[in-house]
Chains A and B, each alone.
Chain A
Amino acid sequence: MTQPAETLAKQLALVIDLNVCVGCHACVTSCKQWNTSGSAGPLADLNAYGAEPNGTFFNRVQTWEAGEYPQADTIHFPKSCLHCEDPPCVPVCPTGASYKRKEDGIVLVDYDRCIGCKYCAWACPYGARELDESRQVMTKCTLCVDRIYDEKLAPEDRKPACVKACPTNARLFGDVKDPDSEVSKAIRERGGYSLMPEWGTQPANQYLPRLVREAQEF
C-alpha cells in the first residue's frame, strides 16, 4: 500500500526561519484574506462574533516555551501544509480530490471533487488540513498556487501571500530540488530540518533553527 514516493524534479516549498519569526501572525491573516476571496474560498468562520470563534485557516502560528526560567526560550512556530514529498494524505483520498502535482509537488485539494470525508486529515500527522465547515470540503495551504503562476500578477508578486506579508522575511519560498535556490541554500547553510521525520513523509517545507550569538570577547 505504501509505495515509495515518486521523485519529482521540482518541489516548491516554504522554509520557515525560527531564528527571526516574532510570532506576529501576519502570515496567518494575509493567507486568510488572499484565499477567502480566491479559488480556495470562501473560508468560513463559525461564531464569528460569539463564543469560541473558529474558522478555516491554512496557516497558524503557535507559541511554545522551551526550557525553564530564566533559561526559557519563547518559540513562535508557524505551521501550514508541508507539501510532503510522500504525502500520506493523498493515497487515502477515495475520490482523488487530494492530489500532488507532478509539475511542482504542490499538494492540493480539488474542492469540486471532495466529498468531505475527512480521511485525508486523519492521514496527515501534522494537522495541516482543515475542513471548511460551511462548504464541507477539505482545505489546506495551496502554496498560493493561484498567485505564483498567475501571469497577470507582476513577477515580484508571484509569491505566496504569507511570504510577501512576513515582516521579518522568516518565510522563504522556492524549489527545494534546485540546489541553487534560496531555500536550498538556506537549508544547507542553516541546518534546515523536517518536522516529525519519524514518519517518513519527507515534508518539503523545512524549518531553520534558532541561533544564539554570544557576547564577543575583546
Chain B
Amino acid sequence: MNHADPVRITSALDAGNTVKTTTCYMCACRCGIKVHVREGEVRYIEGNPEHPLNQGVICAKGSAGIMKQVSPARLTQPLMRKPGSERGAGEFEAISWDRALDMLTERLAKIRNTDPKKFAMFTGRDQMQALTGLFARQFGTPNYAAHGGFCSVNMAAGMIYTIGGSFWEFGGPDLDRARLFVMIGTAEDHHSNPLKIAISKFKRGGGRFISINPVRTGYSAIADEWIPIKPGTDGALFMALLHEVIANDQIDHAFLKRYTNAPQLVVEDDGERQGLFAFDPAAGPPGDGRNPHNKLVWDKASGKVMAAYPAGIAEGCDPALEGRYTLADGTRVVPSFQLLRERVADCTPEWAATITGIPAARIKALAREMGDTAFKQAFEMPIPWTDAWGKQHPTTIGRPVAFHAMRGLAAHSNGFQTVRALAVLMSVLGTIDAPGGFRHKAPYPRHIVPNYRAFSAPEMIKPNTPLNAAPLGFPASPDELAINPDGSPIRIDHAFSWEHPLSAHGMMHNVITNAVKGDPYRIDTLMIFMANMAWNSTMNTMAVREMLNRKDEKGEHLIPFLVVCDAFQSEMTAFADLVLPDTTYLERHDVMSMLDRPISEFDGPVDSVRIPVVPPKGECRPFQEVLIELASRLKFPVFTNEEGGRKFRDYPDFIVNFEPQPGIGFLMGWRGTDGGSHLRGLPNPRQWEMYEKNNCVFRYPMPENMHYMRNWNRAYLDFAKDKGWRQRNDPIQLALYSDTLQSFRLAAQGKSPGRRPPEALRERIVTYFDPLPFWYAPLEQAATDTAAYPLAAITQRPMAMYHAWDSQNAWLRQIHSHNTLQVNPVTAHAAGIADGGWCWVESQWGKVRCIARHSEAVEPGTVWTWNAIGKASGAWQLEPGADESRKGFLLNHLISEELPLAGQPGHTISNSDPITGQAGWYDVRVRIRPAAPEEPEESFPQVAAVPSPPGVAGRAAGVLAYFAGKRK
C-alpha cells in the first residue's frame, strides 16, 4: 500500500522558511533560540545549540512561544480609561500614540518641574533595569525599583553581604565537578535550562543529590534523597550543621584564616566600636565593611597582634581562630570565629530537630557527609593562580560539595539571616569559588559591601535635576539609608529606611498600600511595567485591587494617575488610566547587559541580545522606545545633545552609543570602531550586526587562571577592574561576621554617633541586625495564633508556566488550567477533607475555597499549590467560565502585605524581612476545613469579569488549529 510520505510533505512546507536567532523571553532564563518563520508566521522555535546557556535545549514555555504570538489577549493600541468609568472595570477607549505620549510628557514634565518624587516607577519581571533605573535617575525620582524586593532579595543580599556573590544569576553550583549536591528550597529557578542540563549530567556522572524542601516536585523528584523540612526553619538546620562541622573539626582552617574575616579581631568592650572589627588607625580610618582592609588578627606563632593584611597572612604567621585577646591599648578583642563557635554551641542537632522536623541523627549524618565530601573527596586541579597578596598557588583545590538555594530560603522574613547561615556554612567548608563548590559569574564577586550607594538624603531630590546617586544600592552603614532627618522614609516603598535598611532591591510589594495611605506622602503618577500588581504579584490581592481604585473625600483617586505598560490584557491593565501596549520578545530589540543582569557563565562574562524576528503587532511599541522617546521629550541630560536636541535616534542607537563610563556600554562584545575590542572599547556602529551574526550572544571565556578563587585572584581582580566590573582591585574577604550589620545595631543601641532609628524600631534592629547568623521564627508567627492556624502554606513554580505570563497560552494552559491545594493525607484526613474535594483554606488575613488533593510528597505541616495559576475572570481574554477562574485559585488572598509592628499597638509594618524588606510570601499560617456540600463548586473569591478592551485580538473560535503559513 502506498502511503503519503510525511518527509516530503514537511520538507516541502518548510522549503521557504527563514531561520533567525534571538533570545527567548518566555522566562528570565534567556536561552538562545532559533526561530523558524514560514510566510510571516512562526513555525518552530528550537534551542540554539551554539548558545552557551541552553546548548540547544529548550523548555516547555520556550517551545510554546508561538502561542504567545497569537494570544487573543495581545494589546495592540494605547488605551485610555473611559472617562467616568471606574478603575478596574476595564472600560477603555483606544487613543493614538501621539496623544498618549503628549499626555504623559505633559504630566511627567509638571511633576519633574515641581516634586520629582511624586513620580514612581516600578517594574516587574523585566531584565532592563539598567535602562529603567537610568530613566528614573535622570527624572530625579528616588521612587524606582524592580521586582527584586518581593522576589528574592534575601538570597541576593544575604550572600552578597557574606561572600560577595550569590545564587540566582550571579553564581551557582559547579555541578561538573561536585560529588554531593544539596539543593534547598528550589523548585525551578531562573537558571532553568542550564540547571536541568547540569543536574542530569551530575546524576549520570554518579553524583549524589539531596533536596531539602517541604515538598517534592520537579528537581527534587529526581533527588537521591528528599529531606522534608518545615517551612521557615532552614536557618536552624544550617546552624546545627555549623555546630556539627565545627564540633567534628570538618572545617577548612587554612581557607578561613586566609580568605575570610574569621580570624579578624572584634572589639568586645562596650562602646561605639563594640562588635566592630578592631583596626590599626595608622593604616587609615575605621572600616565600614566596604573598606579599608586595616583590621587585625592575633598571630599564634608570634603571640602578637598584627595587621590582618598583608602581615597576618604572611608565611609563618598563624592567625588564631579562637581565644580572647587584649590589644596594646587594653581593648578586649576576640577572633570573630570564636564568636561564631560560641553562637553555634547551643545549636545542637537535637535543638534543630524540634524546629525543623528533621531527626537529629539525620542532621548529624548530613553534616558528616558534607564534611567528608568537602575534605575526603577534595581534589586538586592543575591550575596555578596567584592570590591578591602575591602568593602563587601551584594548584586549585576542589571542594566537591555544592549547594543551591532559592526562594525557599529567601521568601521568609528570617531569610536574610538564614541565607547568611548557609553562606557561612559554605564558607567554613571552603567551597567558595572553588571547583566543585559555589562559583561566581561575572561581574560578580562584588565588594562586600558592593560599592553602590543609594541616594541618602532628601536634599538630593531637586526639581528638573537628575538624582546624584542611584535610586537603589547596597547600604554599608546607617549613613547610606534613604531617610529624612527625623528618621522617616524618603521612598514611597519605605525601602532603605530604618524599617528595612538593606532593601537593596526596593519594596515593590508596599508601593500601592503606602501610596494610598500617603505614607510618607501622596504621589501623582505610578508607572508599572511588566508586573501584575493587581493579581499574582501582590499580597492581599482583593484589598490591593480596592486600593487601586480608592478615592479621597473629594473624589480624587489616591493614586491619581496609573500608567501600565504590558503586552497583554492582564488583571493589572484593567486598573490603568493609560495602557501602553508593549511588543513581545520576538518583536523587539533587547539586551541582557553586564550593566544589569547578564547571562554570564562560570568561565567568563556573557551578554546577549534580542533581535526582532517578526514585526510588532498592531501599534505595539517596545517600552524601551517609549522610555527613550519620553526621556528625549523631557530633555533628560543623558538623552539630550549639546544643542538641546534628541541624542539617540532609537533604542538600538542608544545601546550602541550610550556609555556610562568611557569604553563601557550596555553591550560588551565587538566594541571599538571596527568591532575588534571586546569588553571595553569605543562604540561600534555595527555592533548589532555582529551580535546578529554571532547567534545574538557574546561570550568571553577568561583564561583558566581566572576561573576560580576570584574573590582573591590577583589576575582576575586586576582584569575585572580594568573592564569596569568593579571599582577597585582589592580582594573580597568573606564576611562570616558582618560588621555592617553591627553598625546598624550600634546605631539602634545608641552607641554610635550619627543616625539613630526611631524609638519604635530600635529593638527590632538590635534583634535582627546580628553580625552573626541566627535562626528566629518568621515574624508572622509572632503575630499568629499558631494553634488556630497550624499549617504553613506555600507555593511552587510549575515548570510549564511562568507566573501570569502564560495563562493565555493555549498550549501551556492545557497543562495547568487550574491548580489544587496539595495536602498530606494524614493532615487531610484529620481535617475531614476528601481527595479531590472542595475545601476552605483560611489564614487570619483571608480565605480561599479550592480543590484539595492528597499528596504523599508534602510534609504534613505544610500545604502547597502551584503559583499564579488562578486568574481573575475575564482577564487574559479567557472565557468567564475558564478553569483558571472557576477552579483555580491564588494563595495570595491569604497573605498580608503588612503585619502589626511588634510592641507598637496600632502600627503596621511591611510583611517582610526586617533587614532586606524581602516579602515574606512563605510565612503565612493557615487552617483547612471541608467546604459544605451545598456550597458552589467554584473557587473563592471570584471577581466580576471585565469586558474586552479595544484592540485586543479577542478570543479565537472554539477550535484553534495553529498552522504556520498557508495550509498544505
Interface residues of A (CB under 8 A from B): 19-26, 28-30, 32-34, 36-55, 57, 65, 67-70, 72-76, 96, 99, 108, 110-113, 133-135, 142, 145-147, 149-150, 152, 156, 161, 164-170, 210, 212-216, 218
Contacts and interface: CB of A to CB of B under 8 A. Distances in A.
B6 A46 contact: no
A74 B857 contact: yes
11 contacts: A22-B222, A23-B799, A26-B63, A29-B812, A33-B45, A45-B814, A49-B72, A51-B879, A55-B960, A73-B216, A164-B58
Nearest to A152: B11
Interface string B815-832: 101000000111000000
Contacts of B54: 167
Which of the listed residues A20, A54, A146, A165 has the most CB atoms from chain B within 10 Å of its own CB?
A165
A47 B224 contact: no
Interface string B877-904: 1110111001000000000000000000
Contacts of B956: 48-49
B350 interface: no
B799 A51 contact: no
Contacts of B614: none
B228 A70 contact: yes
B3 interface: yes
B218 A49 contact: no
A156 B49 contact: yes
Contact of B882 (A19, A24, A51): A51
A125 to B, nearest CB: 24
B878 A49 contact: yes
Interface stretch (B193-201, B276-284, B688-696): B193-201
Interface in B200-242: 200, 203-204, 206-209, 216-222, 224-226, 228
Contact of B813 (A44, A53, A142, A146): A53
A74 B811 contact: no
Q: Give the contact-size bracket for chain B.
A: 35 or more
A168 B197 contact: yes
A30 to B, nearest CB: 4
Contacts of A113: 3
A12 B371 CA distance: 46
B678 interface: no
B808 to A, nearest CB: 7
A-side interface mostly: loop
Contact of A218 (B219, B372, B811): B372
A24 B3 contact: no
Given A51-B883, A69-B824, A149-B7, A164 B800 contact: no
Contacts of A41: 961-963
B9 interface: yes
A37 B964 CA distance: 6
A108 B961 contact: no
Which of the listed residues B61, B222, B813, B859 has the most CB atoms from chain A within 10 Å of its own CB?
B222
B481 interface: no
B878 A50 contact: yes
B479 interface: no
Given A42-B961, A46-B959, A218-B372, A22 B11 contact: no
B178 to A, nearest CB: 13
Contact of B962 (A36, A39, A216): A36
Nearest to B206: A213
A150 B814 contact: no
A150 B10 CA distance: 8
Contacts of B964: 37
A26 B59 CA distance: 4
A29 B66 CA distance: 10
Given A25-B815, A70-B228, A74-B857, A33 B64 contact: yes
B57 to A, nearest CB: 4
B365 interface: yes
B959 A48 contact: yes
Nearest to B826: A69
A51 B196 contact: no
A51 B881 contact: yes
Contact of B199 (A20, A149, A214): A20
Nearest to B3: A110
Given A19-B203, A20-B199, A25 B799 contact: yes
B128 interface: no
A108 to B, nearest CB: 7
B143 interface: no
B59 A167 contact: yes
